Chain A
Amino acid sequence: MNDIIFYAIVIAVKILVVLGVTLGLGAYLTWYERKFAGHLQVRRGPTVVGPFGLLQPLADGIKLMTKAPILPRGIDTTLYYLAIMMALIPAVMLFAVVPFGPSFKFMGHEIKPIVADLNIAILYVFAMGSMAAYGTLFAGWASNSKYAFIGSLRKAALIVSYEVVLGFAALSVILLAGSMNVFDIVNAQIRSGIWYIVYQPVSFILFLFCMLAESGRVPFDIQEAEAELVTGYNVEYGGMKFGIFPLAEWYLNTLGLCVIASVLYLGGWSGPHIFGSFSGYIWLLAKSFGLLFFVIWVHWTLPRYQAKDVVEFAWKYLLPISIVNLVFTAFLVYFKV
């Protein structure tokens, strides 16, 4: 009985920590991105609110929340509000299968720093990645606006097509590790001493492409180009109702996929033990933020693809490449080269 209570408390603590960290970090990533984009374009980014503009996310949040709530005419009210949650919840749920470090002993019990240690964690990541399409689709439809609706259809088509490529790209890593469990994947990399990015460079690059596309980042974001199309599908949303969409998609989704990418290709928490018992966590965070840095760098540097090219690029180029890569990997694994 004691064990059950102990594990219930442990799981509750894990969920609270993950929720707090991801949502807090999600808000502060807006500061990080603005600061970074500013320096990239020889500006200074936010400087006024707090030291180095550190309180800017709070100011933004208060501004968004105190805006007048405007509802467009003829909307489907239930779905209009439900779509916000449909966008946010999959992005948060993605962090349920993120391993933040190696397992450790606490009061005689082995504890893994992950909310749900699923056998099929990678499948779950694919599922949650595409569940975001519902938020987009229903947001576009419920807004009762052709503009938002066409944007949402484009974006949903894009998410679905890149999800297929993402699946095939990650499958080759699953083949190498022989498991879909994130702990097994990282342990397999630690045991062999080589990160899978060395064995699977093609798959890693495909994964990066899909990561950019799924989280609506440049160069695959023509369907929600802020400057030209005022972000398409969520154009009828205002205030914090609008704020949730970029938070979920640009920050939480990107961060989640970055952590998963560093688990799959960059050896997760492996690295020299130079920070004591916290080194695993610090290495994982460093790798994930390195990838995040790359995503934001690309976002503020490159121009966009045309709308007709984005989905075609996925089906006609990325998918065949990923299938060839997968078959090749399967041969190598089967003949134990």
Chain B
Amino acid sequence: MRIERRLTTPRWLRVVVPVASLLAALVLAGVMELATGHDPIATTSRLIDRGFFASGALSATLVTATPLLLTGLAAAAAFRMLTWNIGAEGQLVMGAVGASGAGIFLHDQAPVLIIPAMMAAGGLTGAAWGAIPGLLRAYFNTNEIITSLMLNYVAGLVISYLIFDSHSYWRDLSTFTARVFPQGKYLGPAASWPALGAGSLVIPFGFLVGVVSAAGLFVLYRYTRFGYEVRVIGDSRAAGRYAGMRINRKIVAVMALSGALAGLGGASQIGDFRHVLDPRGLQQAGYGYAGIVVAALAQLNPLAVILVAFLLGGLTNAGYSLQGPDFPAGLVGILQGLILFCALAGELLVRYRVRFRRLMVAPA
């Protein structure tokens, strides 16, 4: 068996390989299920049914897909320039802090004012949080993978502090119970983002924000001067410098853009679903890290991120609702891991070809 580099990649391969990777991951997960004494076909079909076909499944899937979409875009935006923002998790949390702060501050205003303000605040705090590793990378040459990752833990501590360890603006101190059992202030009904209904399907407002952001990111990277610079720098930093591009500023800008997208995800968590700054819930889900998987599967294409977020959202959501004695709780995590694993292996097939030959020993 030999592995040869492909000089050109046929177009059909770009579609076939991800799909085949997904199927391979399902088969591998089936092996896992067999090994643990579960019927793989029944389990898989239940998973798919609960994710996409059962009544109410699609609406629930969109709830999970919304944050994945935005963190997936965040990762795609940064990775395109080979800027490795691993901090979508923390940027989402900080976005939630910013958005809930704005929501609480403007609680007696009209939704027309509150909702855009929440989006802006979430995006800006996420951007600021993302800009920190960007600045460190650009001007002190620190590794952004490490700094953005570390800031995830800092963000986790900040949000815990705001609710559990302080009498902060975000904490509900209005009742005796709330003083004993710390929780965040509930945002008023005016701060709830509208959900769009189509029959029985409920589409969260945040999902639409995500779709619009995906289209915006696509246009930004494909058609604008900024996008051109990102592509050049992502391909060769030396070529970017040679062309007179301000690379340091671009790194900060891309990290901030990435953070803003993740921050929007945090704002949507508050506005669409939680309506309260909820440290445990926000951190348990791990949307930031899952966003990296989404971006990788989508091959950093913003439009493909929509589809992948939807599919992974469905699987995750099905995993939540099926969890129980006959359904292993870790299965969805394993499945996600296998999908990423197979997708990365599939990447190899896009760039290299494998040839099988009979082995012969060369006579000397």
Q: Does A pair with B?
A: no
Binding site for B on A (CB under 8 A): none
